[in-house]
Amino acid sequence: MLTISQLAAYVGVSVRTVRHYHQLGLLPEPERDQSGYRRYRASDVIMLKRISTLAKAGVPLARIPSLLEADPADFATAIAEIDSELDAQIAELRQRREDLAELPSAERLCISDEVADILDIERKLGVSERTVAIERDSWILLSAAYPDSLEASLVLRKACLDDDDYRRMMLTMDAAIDWDRDDPRLPELAELSMTVLERLYPVEVACQEAEKWTGTDEVTARLLNEMNEISPAWQRLYELVGELTRAKGYPAF
């Protein structure tokens, strides 16, 4: 008669594994002796060895009971099915490995090459890494909220980066992140932003494309709003530009 520790050592598994097989009903739990300890017989060693061999071969635990009782033909059929399932799992794992290898750097995660190129241009213009990171997160939110409008946004942003006033506005906004909400320079920056907007994104075009930006759910709107709350000065600038765009007939952004 063997204790549970002796049984586990004899077969080459852990005591925890033996208990797990008991819980699943794979290995019948033996009667206990007068001291309350389980005592195992030779038949238990044989059964545990068979279960362990199947488990180590990759047979799902749920299928082991039927295999233990299967005739040779059914056993061969079941093993072939399991082998086919393993092939599928191996193919999936290989695909995951390929997907992992193709993951970009942390900087380019979740953004397209086009967006990454735009961010690189902004760096070269002198925009701080802090603002570039905020810009990157904004693009991720934009792609999630408006996937159908992303391409048009990319085209517009590339055109903006070729504009001297836009570049000047961007660098000023980068510095403005640390300004106070009531900084006297904000109205001037808002006017510059409005001038750039009217030239690069005329009100007629904005109104025509407004339908693409409708339907934002409350959660998405809240997330986009949080991007403006990073800086009190930016939040005030957003309010000032909003007043100017409404006065000019622009749709709500």
Tokens of 233: 């000065």
* CA distances, 238 to each of 136, 169, 179, 186, 228 (Å): 19, 13, 14, 10, 7
| Residue 137 and residue 231 in one domain | yes
Yes or no: say if 156 and 196 are a contact pair by the CB < 8 Å rule. no
**Averaged pLDDT for residues 17-35:** 92
- What are 121-124's contacts with CB under 8 Å, separation 24+? 121/161, 122/161, 122/170
Chain centroid to Cα 208, Å, comes to: 33
Tokens of 11: 């077969």
Is residue 186 assigned to a domain? Answer: yes
- Residues 47 and 119 placed together within one structural domain of the fold: no
Segment 145-185, tens digit of pLDDT: 778 778 888 988 998 999 999 999 999 999 999 999 999 99
Same domain, 117 and 205: yes
Mean pLDDT, rounded, for 52-63:
92
Q: What is the CATH number of the domain that holds 10?
A: 1.10.1660.10
Check residue 107 and give its pLDDT: 67
Give a yes or no: residue 121 inside a domain. Answer: yes
pLDDT above 70 covers a percentage of the chain that reads 91
What is the domain count for the chain? Answer: 3
Q: Is 114 inside a domain boundary?
A: yes
User: Which 3 state secondary structure label does DSSP give 11?
Assistant: helix
For 68, the token pair is 């233990």
Residues 114 and 210 in one domain: yes
What pLDDT is recorded for position 225? 66
* Residue 8 belongs to some domain of the structure: yes
* One domain, residues 186 and 152: yes
Residues 15 and 78 in one domain: no
Q: Are residues 38 and 141 in the same domain?
A: no
Whether residues 202 and 97 fall in one domain: no
Q: What's phi and psi for 38, nearest 5 deg? A: -70, 140
Residues 177 and 143 in one domain: yes
Residue 252 lies in a domain: no
Residue 133 lies inside a defined structural domain of this protein = yes
pLDDT of res. 198: 92
Which comes out higher in pLDDT, residue 213 or 52?
52
Q: Please name the residue ranges forming H helices in 25-111.
A: 42-56, 64-69, 72-102
Domain coverage including residue 39: 1-61
User: Residue 95 falls within a domain, yes or no?
Assistant: yes
Q: Let me know if residue 253 belongs to a domain.
A: no
Look at residues 103, 126, 153 and tell me which one is the last residue of a structural domain: 103
Whether residues 22 and 75 share a domain: the answer is no
The answer on 136 and 116 residing in a single domain is yes
- Whether 217 and 137 share a structural domain: yes
Which regions of 92-191 does DSSP assign to beta strands (E)? none
